[in-house]
Structure 1
């Protein structure tokens, strides 16, 4: 089920992000702080929350959203890190990653509105 996979991937990403933060603190080099923040938020927190949706993995839309978010959650912060270390010539990577995450978020919104039930 994609929901369980999203939660498992999110905790791995969050551990990597936390270790990156510790490494930045030890070296006192915070140049990659934006990549660290995006990795933790987009890859760790949001991905886990998306996996909690009861309908996660039960529809094709949910599975597509889950895979898109997993890919975007890796490509986006890695792309930010590459731009920060290698320069603006590599801006296509975080742009592509951000667009993938936005597409996944839009699909998540559709999935929430399709599956949410409001009691009178």
Structure 2
């Protein structure tokens, strides 16, 4: 699970960096919130979670780890696509942001429970 999270975090990193480069080249920064969330919730958060799972393989082998992985990687694209439409002027995209964001919080709570329950010295 640790390696899966590290690998998918790199996919988000490439997406975030490419968005940043596009915004810089076009001098259009409307998608800054999407760029920031992809880098923080996609790249950084998943890379750190992956490193924690590598350091604590007992936590990585749980059902909670799998549930966190899937909830996180389903909710983030929903939230980011919704946010991209929203900042582009489509106010009807707000439910996608709310749905993705709520699922993201639930996924992070699952991750927190897993860490608190299964990471031991």
TM-score when normalising by structure 1: 0.89
Is 1:72 paired with 2:72?
no
Greater mean deviation of Cα atoms: 41-50 or 24-33: 41-50
* Matched length: 117
Cα–Cα, structure 1 residues 56 and 71, in superposed 2: closer, same or farther, change >3 Å? Answer: farther
Cα distance between partner residues in 1 of 2:28 and 2:109:
35
Which stretch has the larger CA shift, 12-21 or 76-85?
Answer: 76-85
Partner of 1:105: 108
Task: Please say if residues 59 and 118 of structure 2, whose CA atoms lie closer than 8 Å, have aligned partners that are also in contact.
Answer: no
Is the Cα–Cα contact under 8 Å of residues 32 and 84 in structure 1 kept in the other structure? yes
Partner of 2:8: 9
- Greater percentage in helix: 2
The 10-residue stretch of structure 1 (33-42 or 2-11) with the greater mean CA deviation from structure 2: 2-11
Contact 2:38–2:80 (CA under 8 A) maintained in structure 1 = yes
Unaligned runs of at least 5 residues, structure 2: none
Pairwise CA RMSD? 1.4
Cα separation, 1, equivalents of 2:74 and 2:114 = 18
Shift of 1:89: 0.8
Larger displacement relative to structure 2 (83-92 or 12-21): 83-92
Contact 2:78-2:97 within 8 A present in 1 as well: yes
In the alignment, structure 1 segments of 5+ residues that lack a partner are none
Q: Is the 8 A contact 1:7 1:48 kept in 2?
A: yes
TM, length-normalised to structure 2: 0.89
- Structure 1 stretches (4+) deviating beyond 4 angstroms? none
